Amino acid sequence: MDFEIQDYLAEGVEIILKDAMRATLKNPKESLFLLKFSRHAKKATRIRQDYDKKGKNIPAFLIASITSSCNLHCTGCYSRANDACNDDKPQNQLSDDEWEDIFIQAKELGISFIVLAGGEPMLRKDVILKASRYPEILFPIFTNGTMLDENYYELLDENRNLVPVLSIEGNEDVTDLRRGKGVYKQLMNSMEYMKKNNMVFGASLTFTKGNLSDLLSNEYIGQLHDLGCKAVFFIEYVPVNADTMNLAPGDDERELLLDKINCLRREYSDMIFLSFPGDEKTSGGCLAAGRGFFHINSHGDAEPCPASPYSDVNVRDTTLIEVLNSNLFKSLREEGILEDNHEGGCVLFEHKDEVERILDK
């Protein structure tokens, strides 16, 4: 049976919205926003389907790394390993107006979800303020949580299309070991504040071969539930170099995650559980390079994925529709690299020689 990417994405968006509605039934303000957003999402799906009939695939998701700066030095950070994040003063970053232009184009193309990442995205409040103007798009903000303050809480409460997703590694010892002493307590304080004020937030859990069972335990998920967390993103660890390949999850871990997520969805009906990049076998391979999502870095380079920092086009020079038809993106989609079986981690990391060959053409 042929895999239909548009059907897969449309179904996925509907599932996300249904789960989100169920997760916020006790929060009238959030439910009202989701009702309106659901109508926008259905319209966006029709827009993508119309493009598909013209032979142009538009993904539902865009990942936007809006800054290369970060106030933390997390162990094993692929952004720092790829020099996509550093301590130098950012140079030649996209302005807030340039990001707003991307948001406008994305809305017109039917892109429903734009993940704001970094670096630390909350260092770019100017861009987040621009994002708040587009309730047709849901903006999960993947943040280390250390920048949250009264001003940010007010902004997030007034603009429900901005959803903070706090990065946490597990318990206090594990989190502070990777992210720095005291970060765990800051995250706990933020979660307790948002729960008290009926604000929706999520948690981002990076999983490896070694820690997945702990993160999936009823004890840990129950703790997040009691803190008011409404969405849990399981993020597959991407190797930063050959020495860390042994940490990359393989098929056994992906199958465990898929089975356990289904159980968690039944047990915790008021929470959403998502995995990224998800089960590649059920989605016909890696969804990067515009098959399901693509990435724009802080300088405007369009890349297949945040973990694959290769680009042959910049959004300053062209439109998003032309980005999705760039030679790199088209070649990756059409030459079967994204559908290739691989041992674990990122298929583009394992095939980086082939990606570089495409760029050299």
pLDDT tens-place string over residues 35-76: 888 889 889 999 999 999 999 989 999 999 999 998 876 666
- pLDDT band of residue 321 (cuts 50, 70, 90) is very high
Half-sphere exposure of 53 (CA within 13 A, CB side): 6
35 vs 98, more confident = 98
Supply the pLDDT for residue 14. 61
Which ranges constitute the DSSP H helices of the chain?
5-23, 28-53, 78-81, 96-109, 125-131, 150-158, 172-179, 183-196, 212-215, 218-226, 251-267, 320-323, 327-334, 347-350, 352-359
pLDDT tens-place string over residues 255-272: 889 889 889 988 988 888
**Alpha carbons 80 and 177: distance in angstroms, whole number:** 17
Tokens 């980086």 map to which residue? 352
Angle between helices 5-23 and 28-53 (to 10 degrees): 170
Task: Give mean pLDDT, residues 291-305.
Answer: 94
Please report, for the domain that includes residue 97, its CATH number.
Answer: 3.20.20.70
Q: What helix, strand, coil percent values describe the chain, rounded to 5?
A: 45, 15, 40
Supply the pLDDT for residue 109. 97
- Contact between 200 and 27 (Cβ < 8 Å): yes
Sequence-ordered list of residues with C-beta below 8 angstroms from that of 100, at least 6 positions apart, any chain = 130, 133
Supply the pLDDT for residue 175. 85
Supply the pLDDT for residue 351. 77
pTM recorded for the entire structure: 0.88
pLDDT at 147 over 90: yes
Q: Which two tokens stand for residue 295?
A: 């990435």
Sequence-ordered list of residues with C-beta below 8 angstroms from that of 114, at least 6 positions apart, any chain = 61, 62, 63, 64, 103, 106, 131, 137, 138, 139
Please provide the size of the chain in residues. 361
- Our count of domains for the chain comes to 1
The closest alpha carbon to 346, from 70, 40, 26, 81, belongs to: 81
Supply the pLDDT for residue 344. 53
- pLDDT band of residue 250 (cuts 50, 70, 90) is confident
Mean model confidence pLDDT for the chain:
85
Name the 3-class secondary structure at 179. Answer: helix
Range of the domain at 54: 5-359
Name the 3-class secondary structure at 57. Answer: coil
pLDDT tens-place string over residues 210-237: 889 899 999 999 999 999 998 899 988 8
pLDDT tens-place string over residues 156-210: 999 999 999 999 988 888 888 878 899 999 999 999 999 998 888 999 998 888 8
- Long-range residue pairs from 167-175, CB within 8 A, at least 24 positions apart, any chain: 167/142, 167/143, 167/203, 167/204, 167/206, 168/203, 168/204, 168/205, 169/205, 169/206, 169/211, 170/205, 170/211, 170/214, 170/215, 170/220, 171/220, 174/211
- pLDDT band of residue 4 (cuts 50, 70, 90) is very low
The closest alpha carbon to 229, from 164, 169, 170, belongs to: 164
Supply the pLDDT for residue 5. 41
